[in-house]
Amino acid sequence: MRRFVYPIGPAEAGRTVKSLLKGKGYSSRALTRLKKDPLGLLRNGAHVRTVDLLAEGDRLEVTLREEENTYARCDTPVPILWEDEDFVAFDKPAGMPCHTSWAHPADTLANVFAAHCDRLGMQAPFRVLGRLDQDTTGCVLVAKNQLAASLLVARPAWVKKVYLAAVSGAPQPPAGRVDAPIARAGEDSGLRRVDPAGQRAVTNYRTLRPLPGGRSLLAFSLETGRTHQIRVHMAHLGHPLLGDALYGGDCAALSRQALHCAGLAFFHPERGEWVRLFAPLPADMAALCGPVGEETLPFWRQEVPE
């Protein structure tokens, strides 16, 4: 349950409850649920309808009650990078999917989040804001209530990420922009490929340093969010990610794709400020690439406000 209080000033006076809340990002679905809850909408402590007018000096109180989380609980420890009443950011390990499936009914980040909610004494569905592949590590942001989720989903520019990957060879030029559409490799295939008939996909990359064995460490920022986008684009350039067997990567040094979401920044709608998070390389990638600090991430420093 999350409670919000909105004091009504001169600028809000004369608006309906619905108009005010729509302007603050509440969805039609959220308003429908609030109308059904006798304590969902209160004006000066008394029930109010969404069609009622607000006056200067009123105090509008909104209580969001969440649906029961029915996921199985998983107590696998996953580091929390940051948390408040609206969001929690995890540092997801390799081998853990974000969502449940028939093959992973109880060992996903969704299950970890369900157990975390129990410890907090709260209920919340799993609303992940940008999932990572099962073997990709790093920052994953989860919204704890419907309003927080809808505000960021509606404003993709409010969420920025930086990825790190180890690849074969040395891309030329060392920094660039890949604008190449991506489609399924086949109707029933989970693989993707660059295809003129696919959806537009844009990846920005920059080489951070050469690595032993003719490899390179790269940083990435994405302008689109297609499945396997970094993996497909780098394979298309002839520099597949180390450990990425699906796309022709060298698996001699790593048994999973060497891809890590190191930086996450988002504009917090309630705080009115940017939250900036960093997840260090996991042990297997650090052994290959050496340490990487937040200050070395180029796109991060250029694109995320201080």
Residue that terminates a domain, selected from 154, 185, 220: 154
Q: What mean pLDDT do residues 252-256 have? A: 93
299 with 221, same domain: the answer is yes
Inform me whether the pLDDT recorded for 306 exceeds 60: no
Task: Quote the pLDDT of residue 298.
Answer: 58
21 with 40, same domain: the answer is yes
163 with 306, same domain: the answer is yes
**68: confidence class by pLDDT, cuts 50, 70, 90:** confident
Residue that terminates a domain, selected from 13, 38, 64: 64
Tell me: the pLDDT tens digits for 78-103? 999 999 999 999 999 999 999 999 99
Identify which has the larger pLDDT, 154 or 98. Answer: 98
Task: Quote the pLDDT of residue 67.
Answer: 82
Contacts of 124 (CB under 8 A, 6+ apart): 66, 69, 113, 117, 144, 145
Inform me whether the pLDDT recorded for 234 exceeds 90: yes
242 with 276, same domain: the answer is yes
224 with 277, same domain: the answer is yes
12 with 118, same domain: the answer is no
191 with 273, same domain: the answer is yes
Q: Report d(CA 65, CA 147) in Å as an integer.
A: 11
How much of the chain, in percent, has pLDDT values that exceed 90? 87
Task: Quote the pLDDT of residue 299.
Answer: 54
* E runs forming strands in 185-254: 192-194, 202-211, 215-222
146 with 162, same domain: the answer is no
Residues in the chain: 306
Residue that terminates a domain, selected from 133, 154, 175: 154
Per the structure, the complete domain to which residue 82 belongs is given by: 68-154
Q: What mean pLDDT do residues 288-298 have? A: 82
The residues carrying an active-site annotation are 133
CATH of the domain at 58: 3.10.290.10
72 with 165, same domain: the answer is no
210 with 301, same domain: the answer is yes
Residue 34 β-bridge partners:
none
78 with 167, same domain: the answer is no
Query: Taking the model in full, what pTM does it have?
Result: 0.90
Inform me whether the pLDDT recorded for 223 exceeds 90: yes
Task: Quote the pLDDT of residue 301.
Answer: 53
Query: Where does residue 239 fall: left (phi above 0), alpha (psi -120 to 50 degrees), or beta otherwise?
Result: beta
Instruction: Please tell me the total count of domains within the chain.
Output: 3
Inform me whether the pLDDT recorded for 295 exceeds 90: no
- Count Cβ atoms within 10 A of the Cβ of residue 7 and give its class: 0-12 exposed, 13-18 middle, 19 or more buried: exposed
Lookup: tokens for 104 = 């992973």
Inform me whether the pLDDT recorded for 300 exceeds 70: no
CATH of the domain at 266: 3.30.2350.10
Q: Report d(CA 178, CA 243) in Å as an integer.
A: 21
82 with 216, same domain: the answer is no
Tell me: the pLDDT tens digits for 183-198? 998 877 789 999 999 9
